[in-house]
Structure 1
Amino acid sequence: MPAGPAPVPRPDAPRPDAPRPRFLVGMASVLVSGLLSITWLWISLTVLVTGIASLPAVLSGLLLLVPWVLVMRAAAAFERRRARAVHGVDVVVPSRRVARGTGFGAALQNLGLDVISWQFWRSVLHHHITMIVGFFPSLVLYVGLWGAWTAAELAIMAPDAQLGSWRPGALVLALGAVLCLAIALGSLAAGVLAERGLARVMLPSSDDGLRQEVQELSVRRQGAVDAAEQERLRIERDLHDGVQPRLVALAMTLGMARSRIEKDPAGAAELVDEAHDEAKAVITDLRQLARGIHPAVLTDRGLDPALSALAARSPVPVGLTVAVPGRLGREQEAVAYFVVSEALTNVAKHAGASHVRVDVTLAGPADRPGAAGSSPRLPGSPAPTALRVRIEDDGRGGAHVRRDGVSTGLAGLTDRVRATGGHLVVSSPAGGPTILDATIPASAPSTPAREPAGAHDPAPDDSAKETHR
């Protein structure tokens, strides 16, 4: 019998690797929160208020606020681990925007991005409310234990003790001890439930992760739409400004030859030869246009030979290094190819550079900061890899991403890279150098089957052949 479809798990069904709550450990966790509420809670609030109040004094409050933010980062990570290990709450690491650079300046920028993010302040609020929630059950526990101990001691050591005008007796004292103990343990159990519910409400869960993933996919979709629009405009411009006028000239030449074929055969033959040469030039233009859509050498031989062909055709000397073993996905290779192609075209037209350096490497786990931040990784998900493309030239600099409808090359590249979930960073101060750094999420390299050579190119004339190096 054919196998039926795989059962679809219910949304509320626990995952096989879902954490399990531990009630006794949760009681200890509430006691820890209560202890922190009378120590660290007031220290944290004092540092925060003092740092904010000291900001007008030549920003001296930063000396307090910067360490406080770093400590709050560690506290947020601690609360996520405690919620997962103790209370069985399936939390994820929230999305976080990071600076696209390195060094001390990027570290300060990361702190600033944390301070202006809602996720950071939600984790700070959760950390402090958890301490406040732990304070009251801990207080009731200590008072209840004291009352139970006192009543039990009286029941054993002084059963005939008189409290004012009332003599409760040993049985009443024993019942009072049991009641105080029950109230103490009940308050601690209520604290566990309150702490667990607070973690479920305020910490980022798998649902938040899915929402962030949907938001990132929306950003990617918009990037794909923008990239497709840019590509359509480029093809339309190339056809209108390049191929179409030459085809019109070719048709006019053939029309003139047809009108002269009887009266002036020699002149008609010259026009036919001219039309033949023009037809071969149009074929070359069409080949260039087809190569701009998706080059055949990229499909047939991979990224390294395709980029080598680009470097060989560049009028500016190019130093190329491709450290990518095997083949990547078609989309990743195409985006990397067009990033290098557009960058070399811009360098040749505008940079005035004497040398270009192109490095293509396969990096480790990819950080994917974008407009909406990097998406949270669910527990057990594999770490992605990233294809990094870095182009540096020694030109005059001054390149910027513009969307003014005139110079849209870098904007199109940004949209192409954004559609893959990656990002493109352009650094081009006046006077140079100009550095384009693209990070493209990619899967592990493989060796897919090759398509027949020339499957994407029109059949060329012998004089229009291209040599790939």
Structure 2
Amino acid sequence: MTTIAPDRAAPDGLRPTEAAPPRTRPSHLFASAASVLLSGLLGLTWLWISVSVFFTGLAAIPAVGAGMLLLIPWVLAMRVAASFERRRALAAHGIDVVVPARRVSTRTGLAGLLVTVWLDATSWQFWRSVLHHHAVMVVGVLITTLFWIPLVTVWGMVEVAAQGVPVRFAGGTFGTWGLIGLAAVALLVALGALVLGVLAERGLGRVMLPSGDDALRAEVAELTERRQGAVDAADAERLRIERDLHDGVQPRLVALGMTLGMARPKIATDPERAEQLVGEAHEETKAIITELRQLARGIHPAVLTDRGLDAALSALAARSVVPVDLRVDLPHRAGREEEAVAYFVVSEALTNVAKHARAQHITVDLRRDGPALRIVVIDDGDGGAAVRRDGVSTGLAGLTDRVRATGGRLTVESEPGRGTRLIATIPTPPPSKEDVR
């Protein structure tokens, strides 16, 4: 299961966290030059270690997956390296850098770590950061070489010039001032190489590191996905209401009208029969009112607005035909939209279990997980549930769209014969002072 997190991530799945806002600072030549020399030092040491570990791990994968013992730590090290490169680009070159979207698992323990490593290793942003990290080190090695060789030459020439001994070089003889002139040229070459390295490293950072434009594109993609989720959820809800009215309330209203129609001519000729028919119509009217109340409750129950999720879900669990173990741990109320979606998720999940799962027991756990509501619904039924959009079995698809519209994620684990585990993560706004009280 995965969610979306920047450095962004949903239910035992992929969830979003806050991305760092773009920041800019003026670049400093000395800091930039020091960064290039640091890249050269890393290139002479860490570059070879990184490349060796990566290719050795790849080569060892066929050996019963032994290469994963090298590749997993390598992926984690590359995450640290990517963070280091973003900070260095900001500090040394003043580059506008954002933390890219990242998919992470919300599972805990070794399983969560392995899922997160896999999601990293299959994302373009990860390999883009890896390529940038290694390209900077390669450039650093080349520039450092071009810097130190002329600089050492300058030192030697100045030392010889200080002794006042003429030197024959390239077919000519150079005295003290000639050597000083050559040293000055070599010094200019060294400084020029360093400036070239600064420009190259800065260019790589601007091209390969995630910028504000990348963040805007990611935000547009996420908002587009949310909008589509909202549209799909609204369409599914409209169809559900139409179906409930057409298949439930409408036939009963037609029957009510027919009963009253039969009673009307009998008022004068057969008062007892008319009274009986009116009584039947009265009972049917009360049943229709009850059904309409249930339909309205399915859209947005009044108890949810008045008393919050705990009371609304307790009432929902009490009405369930399958025994429900409900656990709600919310220190304060969430937003109105988020509470409505959470209620709908649990309501639809309980309905699906009652209709299809042949379960004996349901566990519902709702709690706040950081900046989100986390809902887990587990049953011991037949399993085999899946999100379908075939126009026949679309309950879970509607749930998925509802949760997606909030920016959250919903996942379903359901092996045949082993029950179903539904996990939904719904991002929530920060609590207000009234909510905290």
Q: Could you tell me the TM-score, scaled by structure 1's length?
A: 0.82
The letter for the 1-side match of 2:47 is L
* Match among 48, 52, 55 for residue 49 of structure 1: 55
The letter for the 2-side match of 1:397 is G
Residue in 1 that maps onto 2:231: 225
* Match among 434, 437, 441 for residue 423 of structure 2: 437
The letter for the 2-side match of 1:238 is D
- Per mean C-alpha deviation after superposition, the further-off stretch among 396-405 and 303-312 is 396-405
Residue in 2 that maps onto 1:131: 137
Instruction: Say if 2:396 is the partner of 1:390.
Output: no
* Match among 384, 404, 412 for residue 398 of structure 2: 412
Residue in 2 that maps onto 1:72: 78
- Distance across 2 between alignment mates of 1:346 and 1:87: 56
* Match among 281, 306, 315 for residue 275 of structure 1: 281
Residue in 2 that maps onto 1:330: 336
Q: Percent identity?
A: 63
1:134-173 → structure 2 map (5 Å cutoff): 134-163=140-169, 166-173=172-179
The letter for the 1-side match of 2:377 is I
Residue in 2 that maps onto 1:262: 268
- Distance across 2 between alignment mates of 1:32 and 1:215: 37
User: Given that residues 389 and 438 in structure 1 are in contact (C-alpha distance below 8 angstroms), is that contact kept between their aligned partners in structure 2?
Assistant: yes
- Distance across 1 between alignment mates of 2:260 and 2:408: 50
The letter for the 2-side match of 1:418 is R
Shift of residue 331 of structure 1?
0.3
CA spacing shift, 1:165–1:118, aligned 2, 3 Å: closer
* 1:218-241 deviation digits (Å, cap 9, x = unpaired): 111111111111111111110111
Shift of residue 202 of structure 1?
0.2
User: Given that residues 327 and 448 in structure 1 are in contact (C-alpha distance below 8 angstroms), is that contact kept between their aligned partners in structure 2?
Assistant: no
CA spacing shift, 1:412–1:155, aligned 2, 3 Å: same
Residue in 2 that maps onto 1:358: 364
TM-align CA RMSD: 2.3
Residue in 1 that maps onto 2:97: 91
1:186-225 → structure 2 map (5 Å cutoff): 186-225=192-231
User: Given that residues 365 and 376 in structure 2 are in contact (C-alpha distance below 8 angstroms), is that contact kept between their aligned partners in structure 1?
Assistant: yes
- Distance across 2 between alignment mates of 1:200 and 1:164: 42
User: In the comparison of the two structures, how many residue pairs are matched?
Assistant: 415
Residue in 1 that maps onto 2:29: 23
CA spacing shift, 1:34–1:446, aligned 2, 3 Å: closer
Gaps of 5+ in 2: 1-20
Shift of residue 317 of structure 1?
2.5
* 1:156-198 deviation digits (Å, cap 9, x = unpaired): 2125444476333322222221221122112112211211111
Give the secondary-structure state (helix, strand or coil) at the position aligned to 2:173: coil
Instruction: Say if 2:349 is the partner of 1:349.
Output: no
Residue in 1 that maps onto 2:413: 427
User: Given that residues 151 and 173 in structure 1 are in contact (C-alpha distance below 8 angstroms), is that contact kept between their aligned partners in structure 2?
Assistant: yes
Shift of residue 75 of structure 1?
1.9
Give the secondary-structure state (helix, strand or coil) at the position aligned to 2:365: strand
Residue in 1 that maps onto 2:293: 287
* 1:416-461 deviation digits (Å, cap 9, x = unpaired): 1111011112222333343222111012334779xxxxxxxxxxxx
* 1:123-180 deviation digits (Å, cap 9, x = unpaired): 1111111111112221111111122112212222125444476333322222221221
Shift of residue 243 of structure 1?
0.3
* Match among 365, 379, 385 for residue 399 of structure 1: 385
Instruction: Say if 2:181 is the partner of 1:175.
Output: yes
Residue in 1 that maps onto 2:16: none
Give the secondary-structure state (helix, strand or coil) at the position aligned to 2:412: strand
Shift of residue 272 of structure 1?
1.5
* Match among 107, 110, 115 for residue 113 of structure 2: 107
- Distance across 1 between alignment mates of 2:170 and 2:232: 85
- Distance across 2 between alignment mates of 1:422 and 1:156: 73
* Match among 313, 323, 326 for residue 317 of structure 1: 323
The structure with the largest helix share of the pair is: 2
User: Given that residues 266 and 274 in structure 2 are in contact (C-alpha distance below 8 angstroms), is that contact kept between their aligned partners in structure 1?
Assistant: yes
- Distance across 2 between alignment mates of 1:259 and 1:448: 61
The letter for the 1-side match of 2:75 is V
1:439-458 → structure 2 map (5 Å cutoff): 439-446=425-432
Residue in 1 that maps onto 2:122: 116
Residue in 2 that maps onto 1:34: 40
The letter for the 1-side match of 2:260 is L
CA spacing shift, 1:358–1:162, aligned 2, 3 Å: closer
- Distance across 1 between alignment mates of 2:384 and 2:167: 92
- Distance across 2 between alignment mates of 1:297 and 1:77: 47
User: Given that residues 48 and 65 in structure 1 are in contact (C-alpha distance below 8 angstroms), is that contact kept between their aligned partners in structure 2?
Assistant: yes
The letter for the 2-side match of 1:121 is W
Give the secondary-structure state (helix, strand or coil) at the position aligned to 2:101: coil
CA spacing shift, 1:401–1:199, aligned 2, 3 Å: same
CA spacing shift, 1:326–1:120, aligned 2, 3 Å: closer
User: Given that residues 22 and 212 in structure 2 are in contact (C-alpha distance below 8 angstroms), is that contact kept between their aligned partners in structure 1?
Assistant: no
* 1:275-295 deviation digits (Å, cap 9, x = unpaired): 111111111111111111111
Give the secondary-structure state (helix, strand or coil) at the position aligned to 2:410: strand
User: Given that residues 393 and 433 in structure 1 are in contact (C-alpha distance below 8 angstroms), is that contact kept between their aligned partners in structure 2?
Assistant: yes
CA spacing shift, 1:56–1:307, aligned 2, 3 Å: closer
User: Given that residues 325 and 445 in structure 1 are in contact (C-alpha distance below 8 angstroms), is that contact kept between their aligned partners in structure 2?
Assistant: no
The letter for the 1-side match of 2:378 is E
User: Given that residues 373 and 425 in structure 2 are in contact (C-alpha distance below 8 angstroms), is that contact kept between their aligned partners in structure 1?
Assistant: yes
